[in-house]
Structure 1
Amino acid sequence: MTSTEPTAPSGTNASSGTNASSGTTPATESSPATASTPSTKSSLIWARRRSTVARFWASYRTRRAGLLGLAGLTLIALLALTAPWTVGADVQSVTQAPGTALEPPSAEFPLGTDQFGRSLLGLLIWGARISLLVGLLAAVLSVAIGTLVGIIAGHYGGWFSTVVMRITDWFLVMPTLVLAIVLATVMSRSMWTVVLAIGVTSWPTTARLVRAQTIAVESRPYIERATALGGGHGHVMGKHVLPNVMPLVLAQTTLGISTAILTEATLAFLGLGDPTVVSWGGMLQDARDAGAVSSGHWWYLAPPGIAIALVALAFTLCGRAVESVLNPKLGVGR
């Protein structure tokens, strides 16, 4: 009997062990659900982003001017991207020019030729690559600097914000083109010099706009809750402020590209661009050097000038449409 008495407790222990193991089994079975929680959150985040993009596009396509500008930019971008296959890199060569100097428009050369006998249509398409690339990179650099300065100045405030804003005001009152000319003159002549010269001289407007938006965002109650829960400066600026100023940054970038393209064309026209590449501003400089103005060779001047104006107009139309979608209070006409 004594030998059987321990058997009962051991059986009880075994059963309790079974219950314990069975009690751990559901936890083990529920672990995949716990592991799938991040993927569920990720899918929800992407679903919200797709919904946001869909709402943005539904509102944007009601802006006829914005659609017109987007269609024009799409066409020009396709021409620029396919330039190596449609016109070829040989169009830039002055030793393999297919025509004679300064031929007027004809069936063979729809826009005429330059002083080296190169097709102006081919140069115009190839030059779109440099003009669009420089405009895009310079605008992104400018907006990135302005956003960083604006968020930091708006977040910390106090004497630091005052000093930063006084420096910003100094850049703001100085002529952007003059500063860009100075930088492009003292640095080596290249495409990256032009990008840097435009980017580091045109950020103050973005900085002031972003600073004002940052101050407005940080006055909201959830910023105080995030700080009370232990959120540091980087968390507040990166997780709360930056997402709220991104619509403003996007609109400012779109509008800044047209200004950057015009500035690049001006620098190239003044002889401060990259002489090894073809751009629309460089074509205008070559036309001036060839005496196209005094000689009446209008086909040399008109195409690059019209192209610059059309691209700047297209980016402006897109920027205004984006701004009106992101901020309906502006009441911009459709």
Structure 2
Amino acid sequence: MSAPTGSVPGPRPEPPTGPEPTAGRSPRSLARRRRREALLRFAREYARNRAGMFGLVSLLVIGALALTAPLFIDQTHLTVTGAPGDPFQPPGGDHPLGTDNFGRSVLDLIIWGARVSLTVGLLATFVSVSLGTLAGITAGHFGSSGGTGGRVVASIIMRVTDWFLVLPTLVLAVALAAVLPRGTGTIILAIGLTVWPATARLVRAQTLAVEARPYVERARALGGGHAHVMGWHVLPNVMPVVLAQTTLLVATSIIAESTLAFLGMGDPTTISWGALLQAARTSGAISAGIWWYIVPPGLAIAVVALSFTLCGRAVEAVINPRLRGRS
């Protein structure tokens, strides 16, 4: 009798190898992956912009010098009594950029002044961008989906914004700096409270575009409130525009700080680039032709403002493909 026939079980198939299927991932991991990919795309596009890279490298060098200044600058040499040189000493070996009217090294003063000028510029920009973003998102959201009461609120916000826009920014900043106590904090508030309207109008326009998208309508239909829609759907989509506006506003804030300090509105005990120009004017360096006390602080302001502007234009070109051909 022959043996019974039957199928002999073969080897068990191995599990498939390769990348994990998308369906098996959680929404959080997918969101993190998309953010990483978007960040990498942004970095690649930004690296192709030569002007933007020049501005970024310049800012990194200046920022590194400002952060490490206490390591190689003796703070006693920045005081009037501890000045290491003679008054108005021309550029030479010991002092590459000469000295001021007290004998302090102009190069040391510029490097140390970068700490204050950059700090004031960044903090004033943070204040103005925060106010502008809040006002723009609120006006755009309630103006498009807030009903009659929301449209009234949006109209009031935009009329206040227009009122600030028609006022001369520098005159308003000078008035605020004159009323408030003198100090670095006053300069930050004076600048931050006067340059936010442009950000508000820009963010409002972007908010109106985002509010018209289908997923925002679905979020409202599912019961999403005003805070949920503004915080989870509108704010993340306007952040690229806010980032580009921020880099451009830093340059404006640094120039405004230098102007206020030059006009004598800043803290007289603080070393900044604008304070150096104001000291050069009051000490008679301009009329005496002491160029090394005037030109270097002005060049520092111009280089930093230009670098932030180049970075801002590069960011705009990345987030708006229509501008890439102009960069």
Fold in common (TM above 0.5): yes
Q: What's the counterpart of residue 215 of structure 1?
A: 208
How many Å apart are 1:162 and its aligned residue? 1.4
State the TM-score, normalized to the length of structure 1: 0.87
**CA RMSD, Structure 1 to Structure 2 (Å):** 1.5
Query: Which residue is equivalent to 1:97?
Result: 83
Q: Check if 1:162 corresponds to 2:148.
A: no
Residue 206, structure 1, aligned to residue 199, structure 2? yes
Tell me how far 1:332 sits from its aligned partner: 4.7
Task: Report Cα offsets for 1:202-235 as digits up to 9, x if no partner.
Answer: 0000000111111111011111110010100000
Question: What's the counterpart of residue 53 of structure 1?
Answer: 39
| Corresponding position of 1:123 | 109
Shift of 1:132: 0.5
1:253 aligns with 2:246: yes
Q: Report the Cα offset of residue 92 of structure 1.
A: 2.1
Asked whether the equivalents of residues 318 and 324 of structure 2 are also in contact (C-alpha less than 8 Å), the reply is: no
**Partners of 1:50 and 1:169 in 2: CA distance:** 38
Q: What amino acid does structure 1 have at the position aligned with 2:126?
A: V
Opposite residue 119 of structure 2, the aligned amino acid is L
**TM alignment of 1:250-329, pairs within 5 A:** 250-329=243-322
Deviations 1:7-64 (CA, angstroms, capped at 9, x unpaired): xxxxxxxxxxxxxxxxxxxxxxxxxxxxxxxx95444333322211111010000000
C-alpha distance after superposition, 1:158-191 (max 9, x if no partner): 1221121111001001011011000100111111
Give 1:87 shift: 1.2
Distance in 2 separating the partners of 1:298 and 1:46: 54
Equivalences for 1:173-212 in 2 at 5 Å? 173-212=166-205
* Residue 27 of structure 1: aligned partner: none
Matched, 1:152 2:145: no
- Which residue number corresponds to residue 222 of structure 2? 229
Q: Secondary structure at the match of 1:166?
A: helix
* Unpaired segments ≥5 residues, structure 2: 1-24, 144-150
Within 1, Cα distance between the matches of 2:77 and 2:34?
Answer: 47
- SS of equivalent to 2:84: coil
In the alignment, the residues of structure 1 paired with residue 36 and residue 213 of structure 2 have an alpha-carbon distance, to the nearest angstrom, of 27
Provide the rounded CA distance (Å) in 1 between the counterparts of 2:93 and 2:199: 47
Alignment of 1:76-87 (within 5 A): 76-87=62-73
Whole-Å separation in 2 of the counterparts to 1:272 and 1:92: 21
Change (3 A) 1:143 1:98: same
Taking the aligned partners of 2:164 and 2:308, their CA distance within structure 1 comes to: 24
Give the helix-richer structure, 1 or 2. Answer: 1
Aligned length: 298
Offset from partner CA, 1:270-313 (integer Å, 9 cap, x none): 00011121000000000001101100100000000000001000
Structure 1 stretches of 5 or more lacking a match? 1-38
Amino acid at match of 1:62: R
Contact 1:91 1:123 (C-alpha < 8 Å) held by counterparts: no
Following TM superposition, by how much is the alpha carbon of 1:114 offset from its aligned partner in structure 2, in angstroms? 0.5
Shift of 1:88: 2.9
Q: Give identity over the alignment, percent.
A: 61
* Partner AA of 2:230 in structure 1: M
1:71 aligned onto 2:57: yes
Structure index of larger Rg: 1
Counterpart-to-counterpart distance in 2, 1:261 and 1:86:
25
Q: Which residue of 2 aligns with 1:171?
A: 164
Hey, what does 1:140 align to over in structure 2? 126
Q: Is the 8 A contact 2:136 2:199 kept in 1?
A: yes
